[in-house]
Structure 1
Amino acid sequence: MECDGCPECVLSLAVNETFDLEKAVCSYGFFMMPPNLWLSSSSTLRRPLRLSDATTRMVYISQQKSPSSSLQIRVMDTSNLTTQDQQYLLDQVVRMLRLSEMQESEVRGFHALHPEAKAKGFGRIFRSPTLFEDMVKSMLLCNCGWARTLTMNRLLCDLQSELKEQPLGGSTIQEISSNSNGTCVNSDDSSPKTPNKKDGKRKRCSKKPSNNAVSSVPARFSEQGLPFTDVKKTIVSEASSITLIDIEKSAMNLDIGLCQEGENNHPLKISTVNLSEIISSPESLTEEYCIPSALSTGDFPTPKELASFDEAFLAKRCCLGYRAKRILHLATDICNGTIDLNSLESSDGSPLLKFSELEEFFLKLKGFGPFTSSNVLMCMGYFEIVPADSETVRHLKKVHSRFQCTIGTVAKEVEEVYARYSPFQFLAYWCEMWDCYEEKFGKLSQMPPSHYHLITGSNMRKEVSKYFINQMPPSDYHLITGSNMRKEVSKYFINQMPPSDYHLITGNNIRKNVSKYFM
């Protein structure tokens, strides 16, 4: 591999002919969580990964199928990689995509029991490059909605981006805490100092919406979540009308509030794309510039990075609430050696202990109940137990007619339904769940990240269709309301009625069950 003098290094990792990167990545909700970013236009996974010295590099992973199947791993901003760094990066990729010999054998074993899954190419569950990231993300799945989970992950990565490429010392932590809460956390003092609380009265932003063409372009894309091809066409068509004076006048920033109900939150400032470069060469615009989550390049924080913060600051800054205490406790125990994650699994992500031993270990950790522990065990490769929640209850009722299933009986019901797939019960269950999600929301690998928060049990019950989310023209966006959902507004109602019948669209006629024929 020739790296010297190049802006990037390229690693290659051989995979078998049946491996499909898109299906391996877009197979579990973790792929939607920052810092992961799936670029559907190029079938590429982008995320930061760590080198052996704990510094981060942005990495792009794509698949090359000719002349032989392999993964191309582009490591940015480096002209040289040591042998140690190369292996360190490859181990993380192998873990994320479950490419070890043991895991390949498990995929074949599952496909022997589940031919339908084999035909679909389903058999791998995407996970994080490190066990610690899987553990924290599993904690963030509990007792909150999916949109909240995505927000907490994003804020943790944005916090890490403020530490990136800077030494973990007093100045960095002080600066971040001071900028966010008005009080510094002195890292030289071992006792944590909770930042002072701000005045309880919230000040409304006095800024008026800008009419500037530069600032309005990314704002509209952020709100609408348009497909990349549509965004690019719009920017290319509008680029000629944007002048350098517009750019100079623009603040080039969007302040996006991500406050959750009942939680205080730090405003997230996202830098927008450098539009001066786009104007000079609009065709060079890439998909990343049109995805809000792509504008942050922070990695998921390490135990050392998280342990540097004060609990109250972390709870407020990353919208974690009570979870901040549990996450900090885990990070601190790892840093001081109380917990040794290297004793739990090998470098390629294969577990080193038996299921029963790991289950007992996780259940003893603070913040790890049955669901969180089961989810981490699944991430480690133990698929005989299903992390069950209210979504599992809904699924069993709808797909398996287990109408009497409750959260109290779901474990027993799951065991009965999926016992024939042992020891891969979770894989069989998740193959069904993923099919149900895609039946309702369309192919999830093609869904824009701005729509990820819509994948909820509530929207599943509302019968939100693929069309409703992905194909509706912007002129009809205002029709997506709870009221219209209850009125069973159909595709025909929205798109096929002749203008001469528009007067029939009334609440009275809806109540009368006006049919397509009537229209």
Structure 2
Amino acid sequence: MAKQVAKAKRQQPGSIIKVLRGGKCFHIRLPSRFSLGAAVCSYGFAMLAPNSWQPNPVPGGRSHCKGVLQRPLQLQSGGAVRATIRQSSSRVLEVATSKKLSSADVAALHRQVLRMLRLGTADDAVACAFAEGSPDLSQHTPVGRLFRSPTVFEDLVKTFTLCNCGWTRTISMNEKLCQHFGGPLGAFPSAAVLAKVTPRRLKKLCGVGYRAERILKLARAARAGSLDPLSDPNLGEEDASQRCKGIYGLGPFGVANALQLLGFYKDIPADSETCRHLRQARGLRSCTLQNVALVAARVYRPYAPHQFLRYWTELWRTYEQRMGTTAWKADPSKYRLLTAAHMKVPRQSYQAAPAKELQNLYPDFVACSPRGLLPALDNEGEHVYDSIVLLEYVHEIFNGPPLLPTSPLARAKVRLWSKHVDLHIVPNFERLLAAHDAEARAMAREDLVQALALFEEAMSPLAKGPFFLGSDFSMADAVLAPWWQRMCSVLRAY
């Protein structure tokens, strides 16, 4: 009888089937219709250090259907070990390490893997219910399991790095946290390690800015056991919400994101990307940054209690459609390029008018700039728009003072820092103007000042005159000048 009970437990999804290779490897029973690739390639935290996803393309299929996930995991006995996770068959997940594990360490790694891939009993029930409620999304790919970190603490730190900045900076902050405080394996730093760091050192080494105090307070709270209730499988949604709201520095967006990471999907962490999705994919042109939370709540209410799952799966599918299968290449530098090019909301904001109305009112302009973006140029029938592209075009076509230097290195630096203005200075300036409260304003101001300081730091060894390159006016000056002029007059009020 005892053997039958033990065998039945091993057959349950999420349970350990067996331990192999002298304790260096163990197998986990998977639920039906599970895909490691779909579970990992489901949420942006999979792109953040110390996670490393290595896809194994399937001929004729999606490139991330199979692959290997590698990252350091914390041992019960202390320290960390690098784990390699692969799906060896439709119902078996293999977790392998180079170190012999004690039974306590196997149990610790088992818990972390279950959490990352949402393989618990409650997670399985959610995935099944969501798939039944959204058959249009679940027909070809398993849905309902969004990747997360192996611990609540790591999820919350990453949530702090997610707020009020671009995705490239989020990637950078997490890389530096692992690099400087993750030990020889580059693991995600533990609460005990971060609790001993000073805010000044954390800011300097990891570039986290105002987040330093919040991360350190969170680390001290975790070390004291204050976060332990958030790992309780019996935790209710209301209790979880109140506890998340009590975390220092976690605003409404952060609370909503923390709740979905804890398995509660009612609230949608709405931001500019939510607004873009509702306007473009759902056709809700009346959606704005001011009303996006209310609009999102109304649109996804029919999918309760899985509103966030529905929203995020829709959004993620649009990312994959735009990025193609190259989105999940193993080289982390690809994540920066792809997210900068495809996952950021275009900074231009304009009100769309019906195509016929535009054609009637501004036929020449529409021919020159089909998307209605300014500035645009018509040079004897050659149409060019987008400010930076247009500047390079002017430099190459027309006679006059060059906007790009002749030296390849100097040219590269001008292009690099022109892009810095476009990706970091302009969006943070607009965030500052759009901030609705003192805290959001302070965050945006700090990020803007930091972006300007980086530009000034790059300029100082080059400039022996009034311009970026010294005495010569360049494209970098042209890109920054209009925004700098506005800042000087507008920011006095901030």
Interval of TM-score (by shorter of Structure 1 and Structure 2): 0.5 to 0.7
Work out which of the residue numbers 51, 54, 66 in structure 1 matches 2:75.
51
Partner of residue 230, structure 2: 344
Distance 1:404 1:308 in 2: 48
In structure 1, how many angstroms separate the alpha carbons of the residues matched to 2:214 and 2:198?
12
AA aligned to 1:409 is: N
Corresponding residue to 1:451 among 331, 334, 353: 334
Is 1:38 equivalent to 2:53 in the alignment? yes
CA distance in 1 between counterparts of 2:94 and 2:380 reads 59
Q: Find the partner of 1:101 among 117, 121, 130.
A: 121
Structure 2, gaps ≥5 residues long:
1-18, 57-65, 347-367, 371-377, 386-494
Aligned counterparts of 1:301 and 1:512: Cα–Cα separation in 2: 48
Secondary structure of the corresponding residue to residue 402 of structure 1: coil
CA-CA distance at 1:343 after TM superposition: 1.8
1:17 deviates by: 3.1
Measured after TM superposition, the shift of residue 460 of structure 1 is 5.0
User: Greater shift after overlay, 85-94 or 402-411?
Assistant: 402-411
* Number of the residue aligned with 1:74: 96
Q: For residues 231-380 of structure 1, what are the structure 2 equivalents within 5 Å?
A: 297-337=185-225, 339=226, 341-346=227-232, 350=233, 352-380=234-262
Shift of 1:112: 1.2
Give how far 1:447 is off. 6.7
User: What residue identity is the alignment partner of 1:437?
Assistant: Y
CA contact (8 A) 2:273 2:345 kept: no
Higher relative contact order (CA 8 A, sep 6+): 1
How far is the alpha carbon of 1:440 from its aligned partner? 1.0
Say if 1:508 and 1:150 are closer, same or farther in 2 by CA, change over 3 A.
Answer: farther
How far 1:458 sits from its partner (Å)?
6.7
Q: Secondary structure at the match of 1:411?
A: helix
Unaligned runs of 5+ in 1: 165-296, 464-485, 489-505, 514-519
TM-score (norm: length of structure 1):
0.60
Report if aligned partners of 1:391, 1:457 keep a CA contact under 8 Å in 2: no
Which amino acid letter does the alignment assign opposite residue 74 of structure 2? R
The structure-2 alpha-carbon separation of the partners of 1:456 and 1:3, relative to structure 1 and needing over 3 Å to count, comes to closer
Measured at CA, do residues 107 and 315 of structure 1 come closer, stay the same or move farther in structure 2, by a change above 3 Å?
same
Query: Is this contact kept in 2: 1:22–1:445, CA < 8 A?
Result: no
Q: Which residue of 1 aligns with 2:319?
A: 437
| Within-5 A mapping of 1:111-510 | 111-119=131-139, 120-161=141-182, 163-164=183-184, 297-337=185-225, 339=226, 341-346=227-232, 350=233, 352-443=234-325, 444-446=327-329, 448-456=331-339, 459=342, 510=382
Q: Kindly report the root-mean-square deviation, in angstroms, between the aligned alpha carbons of the 2 structures.
A: 2.4
Q: Report % sequence identity.
A: 36
Separation (CA, whole Å) in 2 of partners of 1:458 and 1:412: 29
- The residue that corresponds to 2:450 in the other structure is none
Q: Is the Cα–Cα contact under 8 Å of residues 30 and 128 in structure 1 kept in the other structure?
A: yes
Distance (Å, rounded) in 2 between the aligned partners of 1:2 and 1:132 = 30
Deviations 1:312-347 (A, max 9, x none): 01111001111011100111122234x1x222223x
1-side partners of 2:26 and 2:92: how far apart? 10
Report the alpha carbon displacement of residue 103 of structure 1 after superposing the two structures with TM.
0.8
| CA-to-aligned-CA distance 1:477-509 (integer Å, 9 cap, x gap) | xxxxxxxxx989xxxxxxxxxxxxxxxxx9755
Deviation at 1:9, TM superposition (A): 1.1
Q: Could you tell me whether the CA contact under 8 Å between 2:323 and 2:342 is conserved in 1?
A: no
Q: In structure 2, how many angstroms separate the alpha carbons of the residues matched to 1:433 and 1:102?
A: 24
Query: Which residue does the alignment assign to 2:364?
Result: none
Taking a change above 3 Å as real, the CA distance of residues 52 and 405 of structure 1, as seen in their structure-2 partners, is: same
Q: 1:446 Cα deviation (Å)? A: 4.0
- 1:243 corresponds to: none
- Is the contact made by 1:117 and 1:123 (CA closer than 8 Å) also made in structure 2? no
Q: Which amino acid aligns with 1:404?
A: S
1:30 deviation in Å? 0.3
Change in Cα spacing, 1:155 to 1:507, as seen in structure 2 (3 Å) is farther
Deviations 1:225-284 (A, max 9, x none): xxxxxxxxxxxxxxxxxxxxxxxxxxxxxxxxxxxxxxxxxxxxxxxxxxxxxxxxxxxx
Normalising by structure 2, report the TM-score: 0.63
Change (3 A) 1:90 1:461: closer
Q: Secondary structure at the match of 1:158?
A: helix
Residues 4-39 of structure 1 deviation map (CA, whole Å, 9 limit, x = unaligned): 4xxx81110110231000000010000000000000
Task: Give per-residue Cα distances to partners, 1:51-104, cap 9 Å, x unaligned.
Answer: 102310000100011xx620111112x1x2111111110110000000011110
Letter in 2 for 1:450: S
Determine the C-alpha separation between the residues in 2 that align with 1:461 and 1:382.
Answer: 26
Whether the 8 Å contact between 1:437 and 1:455 is mirrored in structure 2 is no
1:85 paired to 2:105 = yes
The count of corresponding residues between Structure 1 and Structure 2 is: 329
Structure (1/2) with the larger helix percentage: 2
Contact map agreement 2:29 2:92 (CA 8 A) in 1: yes
